[in-house]
Amino acid sequence: SISTFQELLLSPKVRGGFGEVLLNELIKDVLPAANYAFQYRFKDGTIVDAVIKTKDRIIPIDSKFPLEEFQRMVADEVDEEHFKSRFKQIMRPRVNEVKQYIKPDEGTVNFALMYIPSEKLYSRLSGIDELMVAFRRIRVFPVSPSTFYQFLETILLGLRGLAIEKEAQRILDTLNRLAKEFDTAREEWEVVGKHITNARNKYDEVAKRLEQIGTDIKALEVKGEERQKEIPL
């Protein structure tokens, strides 16, 4: 569960790479494989931990959160003011690192996500207004395991809607194609019908002519027989 992961993440035995593992697992659990990529490389060689692929854009996500720094502060039980001050010192350069993944010319959205692998740390981060304002200004948005999961669910709904839209469009395209084929077939059928009608009329016309010719021939035969009877032997 998320709470279990949080406990593990706050343990001094945990290494920073676990955040990336958790991020990857969350993405794989929610999204279809075609809609994400890990260790995505940009043209300049920059590599981001993960991207989510939407209809025509990608969403970059960084997970290299400096967790050990905060674990030390938690362990040292520093006062709140010192914690906030140190928090801001650590996060400012990290946010600028994440900002480099915003590359609209390479198909990214105009923001990036920074994955915070602990609900407790995310909560404390959210309480530092000055830092959150700085995040929003450069369009880098921190997410916790729970908020990121909700984000993924929203993306999934959009992808399903897109799939339904594509299927509906495919059905409409098929119906349009069938309608055109039906119209073509109907026109051809009408032409064939006209040919059949013309052929039938011609057949009847020829039949009448043949019947008339037959009648005329029989009339000549009768006259011939009558003349033969009139000739004296």
Residues 6+ apart with CB under 8 A from 65: 16, 19, 94, 114, 115, 116, 117
User: pLDDT tens across 84-118, in order?
Assistant: 888 788 888 888 889 999 999 999 999 899 998 88
Quick one: pLDDT at residue 223? 66
Give the pLDDT confidence score for residue 50 in this predicted structure. Answer: 94
Q: What are phi and psi of 37, to 5 degrees?
A: -150, 145
Each domain of the chain, given as residue ranges in start order, spans: 2-162
- Give the number of residues written for the chain: 233
Question: Percent of the chain, pLDDT > 90?
Answer: 18
Q: Say what the pLDDT of residue 48 is.
A: 94
- pLDDT category of residue 13 using cuts at 50, 70 and 90: very low
Average pLDDT, the chain: 79
- Candidate ranges 44-53, 83-92, 113-122; pick with highest mean pLDDT: 44-53
Note the pLDDT of residue 186.
Answer: 80
